[in-house]
Chain A
Amino acid sequence: MVHYIGLLLDDVRFSAIKGTGLEEKLTTLFGGQIKSLVLEVPEELSKKILAEFPNARIDSRSYLEDLPVAFKRALFNEVVEKKTLGTEVIEAVFQKMDEIKELAAKESEYIPPPDIDTSEI
C-alpha cells in the first residue's frame, strides 16, 4: 500500500520551488487555502520511516504524520535540490538520518513559538 507525505508550502517555501518545475506538481487543499507537494511513499519506505520515529503515525488519509520538523525540512531541501518528488529524495534524507535524529531529539524539548500577538486570548 502506498502512503504519502505532504510538504506544506508557506510563502518562503513557495518561492524556493519557483523555476524548478515543481510548481506544476503543486496540490491545493481546502479550497486553495493550502498548497503542498505530495510525495508517494512505498510501504517498505514508510515502514523504515515509522521505525526511525516512534511518534510518527499514518493518519486516516494514509499520510505519514507527526514526523519531526527536522525530517520534513530535510525532505523539502532534497526536493528542491533534486527537483523531483521521487523516492530518491527519501533515500537521500536517510543518508543524513543521524543528524536529523539529533535535531529531532531537541524538538521534543523546545520548539520556538511563532511571533504572533496572543493578547486577545
Chain B
Amino acid sequence: MVLLRTPPPHGGNIVDRVVRNPDRAKKMADGCVAFDIKPTLLDGVPIRNVYREIVSICYGFFSPVEGSMVRNEVERVLEERRLLSEWIFPYPLVFDVTEEDYKNLGVGEGDRLLLRLKGQPFAVLDIDEIYKIDPVDIATRTFGTPEKNPEVVRVPFDEKHPGYMIYRSLNPVVIAGKYTIINEPKFRDPYNKFWFPPAKCREEFKKKGWRTAIAHQTRNVPHVGHEALMKNAAYTGDIEPCNGILVNAIIGAKRRGDYPDEAILEGHSAVNRFGYIKPERHMVTFTLWDMRYGNPIESLLHGIIRQNMGCTHHMFGRDHAAVGEYYDMYATQILWRDGIPSFGFEAPPNEVDYGLKIIPQNMAEFWYCPKCGEMAYSQTCGHEKEKQKLSGSFIRGMVAEGIFPPNVIMRPEVYKAIVKWWKVYGYPFVNPKYLAEKDKTLEIDVPPMEVNLKR
C-alpha cells in the first residue's frame, strides 16, 4: 500500500507576500497614494472586509492566488472555476472601490496603492488593471442558477443569501493586482493562539509527526455530535487512521445568532485541552474569510485552504457551508463524488488536471441513539425510530435559557468557553452590539508605521 504524504500546496508553492524587513517595507510605500480600507456594508451592517482576503492571500491560504483578480481571471473563474494559470479556484476575489473613491485616488495601471487599515499602513497593491463590474452579474454567476446549474442549484439566489449579498454589494470599480503586506498585523487575543498560516501549519505538522491529517470545517461551537464526526472521520487515512485532526474555523463577518468567533475558537480548543480528543491528535486554527455560504463552491475553497495547510483529507457533511435551501443538501458531496459539469467539473476536483490533491471524506450525520446509549453514525445505527438529533438551534435555545447542557450534548468546558465570552459581550450570540464592536476592533491590531506619502 502506498503511504500518503503531506500534499504539495495548490499551485505548487505557498504564496508568501509579506515583507518583514521594515526598511524595505517603508521604501515600498514611499510616494504612494493611500487608501483607507472600508468594510462592505449592507443596510449599514458590515458583511465583508477585504482586509481578511488580503491577509489570507498574502499568507498563502488561497495559494496560488496573489492578489485582486484581473478581468479575464474573474471571467475564467466564473465560467470554469479556474485561474488563468489553469489551477482551479472557486471565487472571484477583487479589490473594489466606488467611482468617487477611484476619481479621488487618481491612480492608474502601473501605480502602487498603499492600503491603510485602522489608520496605519498595512499593504500595497501593485496595479495591473482597473475595470468596471456589474455586481449583480458577478453575484448571480458566482453561485449559479437553477437553469444553468440544474444538478445542484434548486432556487434562484436572492437578498436573503449572505454570500450573494456580499457580491451584489461590491463597488463598481475593481483595482486589480498583487497585494503585499508591508506591516505585519498583530492578532488580538485569543486569535493569536490559533494563528497558523500554511507555512507555519506545515511546520507544526512535522513537529507533531503528522503524515496524514483530516480537516474539519467549522463556524460553530462544537457539540458532542461534531466531536463524534471528527473522531470517526479521522479513521480514514491509509494503513492507519489519520495522524491528526485539523480544525480550521472560518473567522469573519458574522450573522446574528451565530456564536462569537472567540467562543468558537476556545470552544474547539477545550475539546483538546480537556482531553476529549488529545492535543497530540487535534489542533485548532483559523482562516480569515467572510463566508459566502456557497456550499459546493465554498467546499472548493475549503479544500484549497486545508491542502495548503498540509491536510491529506477533508471531511464534508450534508449542507456543507450552506444556508437556506438554494443548493441541494448534498451538493458538496455530489461535487466531490461525481463532479458538477455545469460548474466546470466533469470529475471530482481531486481527479482533474490542475486540481486538488486533498482526499474527500463525505460523511452522513451523527445522532444520539438511546438504545445504543451513545452517539451513533446514521449509516451504521439500526435504530432510526429512536434517534435523537442534536440540532444547533436546540442547543442555542438551551444556552439562551441558561440551562447547563448535559455532557452527552456539550462538554462542560466547551459550554464554559461560551459563557466566558458571554460575560465579555453581555450576550451568548452575535448581536448588533457585537457586530459593531467587531467592525471597530477587527481581529488584529496594526502597529504604527511612518511612511512618506505622495503629496
* A interface residues, Cβ below 8 angstroms from B: 6, 8, 10, 29-31, 33-34, 55, 57, 59-61, 63, 65-67, 69, 72, 107-114, 116-118, 120-121
Contacts and interface: CB of A to CB of B under 8 A. Distances in A.
A31 B373 contact: yes
A72 B393 CA distance: 14
Given A33-B408, A109-B433, A110-B427, A67 B397 contact: yes
Nearest to A65: B393
B408 A30 contact: yes
B394 A65 contact: yes
B211 interface: no
Contact of A116 (B392, B419, B427): B419
Contacts of B256: 55, 108
B421 to A, nearest CB: 9
Contacts of A60: 389, 391
Contact of A113 (B270, B388, B391, B422): B422
A121 B417 contact: yes
Contacts of A114: 402, 404, 419, 422
Contacts of A30: 368, 370, 388, 406, 408-409
A121 B413 contact: yes
A65 B401 contact: no
Contact of A121 (B270, B370, B398, B404): B270
B257 A109 contact: no
A72 B396 CA distance: 13
Contacts of A6: 394
15 contacts: A8-B401, A29-B368, A30-B368, A31-B370, A59-B394, A63-B394, A72-B401, A109-B427, A111-B427, A111-B428, A113-B426, A114-B419, A120-B413, A120-B416, A121-B420
- For the residues of A in contact with B, the DSSP-based class is loop
Contacts, number: 97
B426 A110 contact: yes
B266 to A, nearest CB: 6
B325 to A, nearest CB: 12
B264 to A, nearest CB: 13
Nearest to A9: B403
Residue of B368, B397, B422 with most partner-chain A CB within 10 A: B397
A89 to B, nearest CB: 18
A120 B413 CA distance: 8
Contacts of B389: 60-61
B392 to A, nearest CB: 8
Contacts of B385: none
A31 B387 CA distance: 11
Interface in B300-325: none
A10 B396 contact: no
Interface in B124-181: none
